[in-house]
Amino acid sequence: MNPLVVAITGASGSSLASLAIDRLLEMQIPVELVCSTAGRLVWAEEMDESFGSAIERWQASPDFNYYGIGQINARIASGSFPTQGMLIIPCSMNTVASISHGIAENLIQRCADVTIKEGRKLVIVPRESPLSAIHLENMLRLAKLGVTVLTPDPAFYLHPQSVGDVVDFVVSRALLATGVTESLPIHLQYSNDNNHHQPL
């Protein structure tokens, strides 16, 4: 099975990346991971598990590979290496801007550039608020290229009880968008079967 490239950048939302990688490896989907320097700094602020410990835990799986941000000669930097696409979770506005303007100075940017040029699925999970006109224009540019822009919005209609519930929903949506899953888990699908409210 071809791997999915996963990138972690310097936006808030490290728990999204952690759960996404856990889920992929549970499904025995190979993961090729890259993390930016800023991504590691944010991880250290947000997560109880150190980034190094997480890498060691994931490396217990034969389906996992990790690359440094400057490893521009990695196999995932070449379009000749087959992948299922790429998921950038979370995705910083710096990364959005770089990709939307064709800048490929590091491995994350290069992998995104390759994913687009090869016609593969690229999903970004941008985490920023409020969004400026520059942010919106950059994301629109990517959307016009076929990139899926999936903001980490909670599904309030599911009545989430914790941050974990929100993370679960966003990660499930992101994996669905990449094509590695075919539908959301039943508990995350909207149903009004028990909705007895009168129509407005």
In contact, 143 and 136? CB cutoff 8 Å: no
The model's pLDDT over 125-153, given as tens digits with 9 standing for 90+, comes to: 999 999 999 999 999 999 999 999 999 99
CATH 2.30.29.30 at 4-188, yes or no = no
**pLDDT confidence of residue 191:** 85
The whole model's pTM is what?
Answer: 0.95
**pLDDT confidence of residue 185:** 94
Q: In whole angstroms, give the CA distance from residue 54 to residue 56.
A: 5
CB atoms within 10 A of CB 146: 11
**pLDDT confidence of residue 158:** 94
For the chain, domain boundaries: 4-188
The model's pLDDT over 21-46, given as tens digits with 9 standing for 90+, comes to: 999 999 999 999 999 999 999 999 99
Average pLDDT over residues 52-68: 98
